[in-house]
Chain A
Amino acid sequence: MNSISRRRFLKISGATIATAAILTGASKTLVKGADKINKEKVKGIQKIPTYCDLCFWKCGAIAYLKDGELWKVEGNPMDPLSKGRLCPRGTGGVGAHYDEDRLKTPLIRKNLRGEEKWVEVTWDEAFDFIADKMNKIKNQYGPESVALFSHGIGGNFIKHLLRAYGSPNETAPSFAQCRGPREVGFELTFGDVVGSPERTDIENTKCLVLIGSHLGENMHNTQVQEFSHAVQKGASIIVVDPRFSVAASKAKFYLPIKPGTDLALLLAWMGVIVREKLYDADYIAKYGYGFDKFAAEVSHYTPEWAYIETGIEPELIVETAREMARYKPATLVHPGRHATWYGDDTQRSRAIALLNALLGSWGRKGGFYVPYSFSIPKYPYPPYPELKKEPLDNPGGKYPFATGEQISTGIREATITGQPYPIKGWFVYGTNLMQALPNRDETIKAIQNLDLMVVVDVVPSEIAGWADVVLPESVYLERYDDLNTSPFREGFVGIRQPVIDEPNDQKPNWWIAKKLAEKLGLGNYFPWKDVEEYLDTRLKAAGLSLDELKKVGIVKAPERPIYFEDGVEPEFPTPSGKIEFYSDQLAQAGFDPVPRYTKHEQPPEGYFRLLYGRAPVHTFSKTQSNPLLRDMMSENELWINADMAAKIGIKNGQKVRLRNQDGVVSDAIKVKTTERIRRDCVYMVHGFGQKSRQLRSTYKKGASDAELITKYNTDPLMGGTAMNVNFVTIEAEV
């Protein structure tokens, strides 16, 4: 994150004023400058409720128009997620509408893939082109040979289209490249996933443990609000991170762990809690399965042993274990979100689940609550065609615990090999696969085997550069989307509705899906006239009305208890029906029934481990061209320990390039020498160093961690790709 002092900021802006003035005349403000504005300009202030799309959290928001022009977006006070306050990205939401780099019209590739040379076409021409290719693929290979990569709620209508077309292959990098190991680790233990939004009761916790989870920098609005609430109430905070994160600065205990050794710490903590009998014995007696076998296994792990692995003093391990036990069951060991680190991530997540189980926090106030959602019936669509082939992301159940969602890299693999059957078409909705998947070469190799690649996005992301057809979507402020009924502390339904017209020829995803369906002869799957009719049908079935929801934005379900102590019936849908301290299903599949420590490779002499993370003003690689957010942070920096920088002779602010173990060299990135990181690793914010030439405002600004992630370890349980396994050297720019 840029922590710009006023003085420095003035210097930077001072240098650019002259050119800016020449280019734009006088002041360039955000509210001017769109190519087209609302047809009917209503005088005065209009407030229109909607929900945010700057990330997947989907906070309830209110958009303001001033004299018919988009002014600002604020939180909807009715919304349980935002509680009336958005995060910085959400507040910068208007920048998405005014982004000059937006896609404006459908494009068809002119020449070679990846060359970014395009012909502008009409929607009709684009749909004809796509439908023709899709029909050919269907005839030659079958409909299963088109796969969908999609992220966020906007993908719903396109998912529906591809299911109607007959494909079972749909995935998102948010599983195998992100939270998959966590969901599987918790499901193996409690029989249920953590979910999104996380069911973490941070607000009421008395002791919060964050392991490599930098809340505050990772800006999931509700969690950050609850985190600050916990800080204010004096909750004990324990932070484990190789980097002195923002959260670490709020913590009572900071544990500067050696990367790759988190499981050793978790096992040692459990060892202390078991040996000193600090666990919640009643809870375990009631709900636990296989506790004795588990206890026998973990009691071998001592703080002294863990010290050698992790570099954390044994006394600190003991003290923090006791601290967690002191506040049980209102102790929350946060499961994190981006959990694909070293390759044994499901087992590490399971260890986190087990530590919570020892403390009795699942289902308890201050631990993990039991969420519920407003149930809104699905639209009564005709049944999908019968599938002739299974999904191919996980052939032969190679990853036996890859449940619930599909493995994106599995689909990529099948596209390369043509096994178990060929994949000839990719639809990519709202996910920049070049930054999300490890090893770009493999992605490019897969793309070369395709007969059709369609990208639907709002900006020309790097993956769009590789497409055959690019379809420009309206941003969230310009479109309706599906209803948000996320499970949470309170059930609710939220609406996204247009507040302003698209500036060019962009179209909403529902329209894209419906029109393309009609071209494909699948119009019967989109029997509604427009999305309002679709939404109203769903809402009416739940006793609500579209008109009413459009006015208020959010309707809540009646209150319900969310803790065991308040009457929620404890349920553990595991094979034993209990919390599985010992997992027979893991043992049967040939895995450790209780997690065991494996040593991970450490960087060789002269190399650093490459770590990456989040900044509060950006979401993945999708917001860098938003003028408001770009103004907050326009490039990333390379964090390096100050002593280490002095040792290798690099200075603060200097530009360097990174070279990874496979010889890949990054774009130039500015060094930030700091006391906030260990000596054996370097850190950068994800999402920069973008290579799409059409993203003029952010092209090659900073360096791309994704480009350097050529190596990955695969989690044997669920196929997650662990990406914290790349080592880099630093080369000064001359």
Chain B
Amino acid sequence: MPRYGMVIDTKKCVGCQDCVVACKTENNIPEGYNRDWIVTEVKGKFPTVQMEIRTERCNHCSNTPCVSCCPTGASHIHEFGGIVLVDHEMCIGCKACVEACPYDARYIHPDGYADKCTFCINRVEKGQNPACVEVCPTHCMYFGDLDDPNSEVSKLLQSRKWHVNLPDAGTEPNIFYLI
């Protein structure tokens, strides 16, 4: 069984939001809502400024407060690749998971259920990349099996410096940012 994750090269990302638009069309996300988004972090004083641009989404954590707090079992870890998913039919829209996620990765869809990034599981099952990865014009996102030492993602993590978001939250995120 693979363990899916993403490695994102912040050196290459230009923050163009193509990944966000692609997710919206691919998954038919309603206006005003996003499953992924861009964060721009600026440090220093002009003109000695440093800036990191990141594309963020659900981290498909290995330790999941969003799943453990879910009263109905709608939020679950899918057996395929350890992807964290929400079963829309079972979800009662109680917002427990929205509160529990330290990354603000979830929202309540206007149709009443919790929604978030699915790693485009429907595409991945067909051997394709998630839509955001596939569209990114700077090729800064990589998707693959973190447990396979020969996968591109594993190799990148071995060869480059990286960080995860909010490491202290204890969620063991599976999205890694190369610096």
List the interface of chain A (C-beta within 8 A of B): 1, 3-7, 9-10, 12-13, 16-17, 20-21, 26-31, 71-75, 85-88, 91-92, 94, 215-217, 219, 221, 224-225, 227-229, 231-232, 244, 246-250, 254, 256, 616-617, 627-629, 631-633, 641-642, 674-679
Q: Say what secondary structure dominates the interface of chain A.
A: mixed
Cβ distance A21 to chain B, nearest Cβ, rounded Å: 6
Interface-lining segment among B14-22, B60-68, B70-78, B79-87: B14-22
* Among candidates A4, A31, A91, residue contacting B18 with C-beta atoms closer than 8 Å: A91
Closest to B38 in A: A3
User: Can you list the 5 inter-chain pairs with the closest CB atoms, starting with the nearest?
Assistant: A216-B14, A228-B138, A6-B104, A616-B16, A3-B40
Cβ distance B50 to chain A, nearest Cβ, rounded Å: 7
Once A641-B46, A675-B42, A675-B46 are accepted as A-B contacts, the answer to whether A85 and B135 lie under 8 Å apart by CB is: yes
In the complex, are the beta carbons of A6 and B56 less than 8 A apart?
Answer: yes
In the complex, are the beta carbons of A85 and B104 less than 8 A apart?
Answer: no
Which chain B residues numbered 20 to 50 have a C-beta less than 8 Å away from chain A? 20-22, 24-26, 28-34, 37-40, 42, 44-47, 49-50
Closest to B12 in A: A228
Cβ distance B58 to chain A, nearest Cβ, rounded Å: 10
In the complex, are the beta carbons of B20 and A632 less than 8 A apart?
Answer: yes
Q: How many residues of B contact A (CB 8 A)?
A: 50
Closest to A32 in B: B28
**Measured CA separation A217–B105 after assembly (Å):** 26
Cβ distance A719 to chain B, nearest Cβ, rounded Å: 34
Cβ distance B169 to chain A, nearest Cβ, rounded Å: 14
In the complex, are the beta carbons of A87 and B37 less than 8 A apart?
Answer: no
Of the listed residues A12, A94, A232, the one surrounded by the most CB atoms of chain B closer than 10 A to its CB is A232
Beyond A86-B18, A229-B139, A629-B21, 17 extra complex contacts between A and B, CB < 8 Å: A3-B39, A30-B31, A72-B26, A75-B135, A85-B135, A87-B16, A87-B18, A219-B16, A221-B137, A228-B14, A232-B139, A244-B49, A256-B46, A616-B15, A616-B17, A675-B46, A676-B49
List the interface of chain B (C-beta within 8 A of A): 9, 11-12, 14-18, 20-22, 24-26, 28-34, 37-40, 42, 44-47, 49-53, 56, 103-105, 107, 109-111, 134-140
Cβ distance A616 to chain B, nearest Cβ, rounded Å: 4
* Among candidates A72, A91, A94, A225, residue contacting B138 with C-beta atoms closer than 8 Å: A225
In the complex, are the beta carbons of A676 and B139 less than 8 A apart?
Answer: no
Once A4-B38, A6-B56 are accepted as A-B contacts, the answer to whether A91 and B15 lie under 8 Å apart by CB is: no
In the complex, are the beta carbons of B17 and A88 less than 8 A apart?
Answer: yes
In the complex, are the beta carbons of B21 and A91 less than 8 A apart?
Answer: yes
Which residues of A sit under 8 angstroms from B30, Cβ to Cβ? 27-29
Closest to A216 in B: B14
Which residues of A sit under 8 angstroms from B46, Cβ to Cβ? 244, 256, 641-642, 675-679
Of the listed residues B18, B49, B110, B111, the one surrounded by the most CB atoms of chain A closer than 10 A to its CB is B18
In the complex, are the beta carbons of A617 and B107 less than 8 A apart?
Answer: no
Which residues of B sit under 8 angstroms from A86, Cβ to Cβ? 18, 135, 137
Once A249-B50, A249-B53 are accepted as A-B contacts, the answer to whether A27 and B110 lie under 8 Å apart by CB is: yes
In the complex, are the beta carbons of B17 and A246 less than 8 A apart?
Answer: no
* Among candidates A5, A16, A75, A216, residue contacting B15 with C-beta atoms closer than 8 Å: A216
**Measured CA separation A270–B42 after assembly (Å):** 33
* Among candidates B15, B29, B45, residue contacting A3 with C-beta atoms closer than 8 Å: B15
What are 29 sample pairs from A and B whose C-beta atoms fall under 8 A apart? A1-B15, A5-B39, A5-B104, A6-B37, A20-B110, A26-B110, A28-B30, A29-B31, A74-B135, A75-B135, A88-B16, A88-B21, A92-B21, A216-B14, A224-B16, A227-B14, A227-B138, A231-B12, A232-B139, A244-B46, A244-B49, A248-B49, A616-B14, A616-B18, A628-B21, A629-B21, A675-B46, A675-B49, A678-B47
Cβ distance A316 to chain B, nearest Cβ, rounded Å: 11
In the complex, are the beta carbons of B42 and A676 less than 8 A apart?
Answer: yes
Which residues of A sit under 8 angstroms from B105, Cβ to Cβ? 6
In the complex, are the beta carbons of B47 and A94 less than 8 A apart?
Answer: no
**Measured CA separation A677–B24 after assembly (Å):** 32
Which residues of B sit under 8 angstroms from A675, Cβ to Cβ? 42, 44-46, 49
Cβ distance B158 to chain A, nearest Cβ, rounded Å: 17
Cβ distance B32 to chain A, nearest Cβ, rounded Å: 4
Cβ distance B59 to chain A, nearest Cβ, rounded Å: 12
**Measured CA separation A232–B137 after assembly (Å):** 13
Closest to B109 in A: A27
Cβ distance A304 to chain B, nearest Cβ, rounded Å: 20
* Among candidates A29, A75, A617, residue contacting B17 with C-beta atoms closer than 8 Å: A617
Which residues of A sit under 8 angstroms from B11, Cβ to Cβ? 231-232, 250
Cβ distance B142 to chain A, nearest Cβ, rounded Å: 12
**Measured CA separation A219–B29 after assembly (Å):** 24
Closest to A231 in B: B12
Which residues of A sit under 8 angstroms from B32, Cβ to Cβ? 12-13, 16-17, 20, 631
* Among candidates A28, A71, A228, A677, residue contacting B31 with C-beta atoms closer than 8 Å: A28
**Measured CA separation A86–B135 after assembly (Å):** 7
In the complex, are the beta carbons of B14 and A17 less than 8 A apart?
Answer: no
In the complex, are the beta carbons of A28 and B25 less than 8 A apart?
Answer: no
Closest to B11 in A: A231
**Measured CA separation A616–B33 after assembly (Å):** 19
**Measured CA separation A225–B16 after assembly (Å):** 12
In the complex, are the beta carbons of B135 and A91 less than 8 A apart?
Answer: yes
Cβ distance B71 to chain A, nearest Cβ, rounded Å: 22
**Measured CA separation A115–B111 after assembly (Å):** 41
* Among candidates A10, A30, A228, residue contacting B107 with C-beta atoms closer than 8 Å: A10
**Measured CA separation A633–B140 after assembly (Å):** 22
* Among candidates B17, B47, B140, residue contacting A632 with C-beta atoms closer than 8 Å: B17
**Measured CA separation A538–B37 after assembly (Å):** 45
Which residues of B sit under 8 angstroms from A231, Cβ to Cβ? 11-12
Which residues of A sit under 8 angstroms from B12, Cβ to Cβ? 228, 231-232, 250
Of the listed residues A9, A26, A225, A675, the one surrounded by the most CB atoms of chain B closer than 10 A to its CB is A675
Which residues of B sit under 8 angstroms from A229, Cβ to Cβ? 139
Closest to B103 in A: A6
Cβ distance B61 to chain A, nearest Cβ, rounded Å: 15
Of the listed residues A91, A632, A676, the one surrounded by the most CB atoms of chain B closer than 10 A to its CB is A91
Once A29-B28, A224-B138 are accepted as A-B contacts, the answer to whether A244 and B51 lie under 8 Å apart by CB is: yes
Which residues of B sit under 8 angstroms from A9, Cβ to Cβ? 34, 37
In the complex, are the beta carbons of A31 and B139 less than 8 A apart?
Answer: no
Cβ distance A13 to chain B, nearest Cβ, rounded Å: 4
**Measured CA separation A5–B31 after assembly (Å):** 17
In the complex, are the beta carbons of B51 and A17 less than 8 A apart?
Answer: no
In the complex, are the beta carbons of A17 and B135 less than 8 A apart?
Answer: no
